[in-house]
Amino acid sequence: MSDELRRHIVALADQCVKCGLCLPSCPTYALDRNEAESPRGRIALASAIATRTISPINRIPLDHCLVCLACESVCPTGVHYAELLDATRALLGPTGGMNKYLRALLTRPHWLRAALWVAQTLGARYWARPGAHLLGSGSRWRAALLMLSESRPQARTKIDRRLISSQNTPKRIGLFTGCVADVLEESAHAALERLLQQLGYHPVRLPAQCCGAMDAHSGDAPAAIRQARQVHQHVTALGLDHILTATPGCLAELRRALPETRVEEAFAFLDREGSTLRFRPLNSRIALHIPCTQRHVAHSDAALLRLLARIPELDLLPLPTEPRCCGAAGSHFIDYPQRAASLRRIKLDQALALQPSQLLSGNVGCRLHLRIGLVEQGRPMPVEHPLSLLARQLDPHPAEPQEDL
Ligand code: SF4
Ligand code: SF4
């Protein structure tokens, strides 16, 4: 298997013609101005490790990669960078340190929910932040404590068993809520359900379950495969042929796990199917951060902009594309807190310069990371999922459907 994996990595790396056109799009290259921290450098390193030319001990630039996929989007020869990186991390195995324990907790929503409830009950909001500030800015424990201080577990809406059991219900559609998002994103999932119900759909929630992305990106391929199998079993048991997710970071892994099922990101679906939705006016300045996975995996950034433009009077302020990533990137903001904070600082400076009343982002990790940064800078403001805003502004009286001419 290992030799086969090595050959696969070399074949993928050989697609790169070393033109360097991806370098200006790479946030870590912008941060370090170092070839090793660029897509081209990482592809060369992966190939050299796979051919045993370089020792795996030199893997750090590969671990620093944010998997933002900005490089894949601009590559003229179509290098499958995500596949190359996942294969290389699978070859190298998981990174060490606290990461594996934290990952175990983050990918098990029932454990995570219980741990957060216990922490909140023990007054985490009072001790987690001061405790974090006793630690150095490069400490992973500091990053984890700051995350804890801003994490509020939300109770899951009760599942309607009748819909689950009746596979004959018309316009039945699955809702994948994930792991961390299942615990922290209840308001966004409830908002999506409300929007779908307004369109006459019957959303059916899947059991809380990780899609496997976090394990795959951390190099734990066996764990990622186990998670993907469980997702497949849940979807099969519920008889669903169409799944939506409000978390674009889950999309690629879900599509891999469910090759016979249509899997879409919520904004792409709502933009296409939601022509009868109407929204109430909102006279506010709201900044919008578009997560990397929404731009480069879901390709739903234009759909989201169209949906938000339908809220009358809203002064929507999209953040500049550069830098391409806020630094959250799965567990990157805990594994490499200083690097993540450097990228975040640029994004927050851009956001604050616009003087918005709130910030929107469709990814739970980005939102948590940005919210922590705002609190650290003494400039707290609401950071919300765009679905929550859309549902709040929803006019209960839908528009008449347009006749096809
Ligand atoms: S990954 Fe693509 S864009 Fe980047 S150097 Fe290789 S061929 Fe060029
Ligand atoms: S995925 Fe993002 S961080 Fe990683 S090499 Fe590509 S552009 Fe750079």
Whether the pLDDT of residue 164 is over 60: the answer is: no
**Which residues sit with their C-beta closer than 6 Å to ligand 1?**
16-22, 39-40, 43, 71, 75, 77, 79
Tell me the CA–centroid distance for residue 388 and ligand 2, in Å: 30
Residue 299 and residue 294: Cα distance in Å, rounded?
Answer: 6
Whether the pLDDT of residue 399 is over 80: the answer is: no
**Which residues sit with their C-beta closer than 6 Å to ligand 2?**
25-28, 39, 42, 65-71, 81
Task: Express each pLDDT in 203-235 by its tens digit.
Answer: 999 999 999 988 887 888 888 999 999 999 999
Task: Express each pLDDT in 298-322 by its tens digit.
Answer: 999 999 999 999 999 999 999 998 7
Q: Give the residue, by CA position, lying nearest to ligand 2 atom 5.
A: 39
SS3 content of the chain, % helix, strand, coil (to 5): 55, 10, 35
Percent of residues, the chain, with pLDDT higher than 70: 94
Tell me the CA–centroid distance for residue 151 and ligand 1, in Å: 38
Residue 252 and residue 83: Cα distance in Å, rounded?
Answer: 11
Query: 């809520």: which residue's tokens?
Result: 177
Write down all domains in the chain, each with its CATH number in brackets: 2-92 (1.10.1060.10), 285-392 (3.40.50)
Q: Which of 16, 18, 68 to mutate to test the pocket of ligand 2 (most atoms within 8 A of CB)?
A: 68
* Closest ligand to residue 38's CA: 2
CA max distance for the chain: 66
Tell me the CA–centroid distance for residue 40 and ligand 2, in Å: 9
Single pTM value for the model: 0.91
* Closest ligand to residue 29's CA: 2
> Would you place residue 160 in the very low, low, confident or very high pLDDT band (cuts 50, 70, 90)?
low
Residue 182 and residue 184: Cα distance in Å, rounded?
Answer: 6
Residues 399, 285: contact at Cβ < 8 Å?
no
Is the CA virtual torsion 183, 184, 190, 192 positive or negative? Answer: negative
* Closest ligand to residue 13's CA: 1
Task: Specify the DSSP class assigned to residue 179.
Answer: S
Q: What integer pLDDT is reported at residue 405 of this predicted model?
A: 47
Tell me the CA–centroid distance for residue 16 and ligand 1, in Å: 5
Secondary structure of residue 88 in the 3-state scheme: helix
Nearest C-alpha neighbor of 184 from the set 339, 352, 396, 372: 372
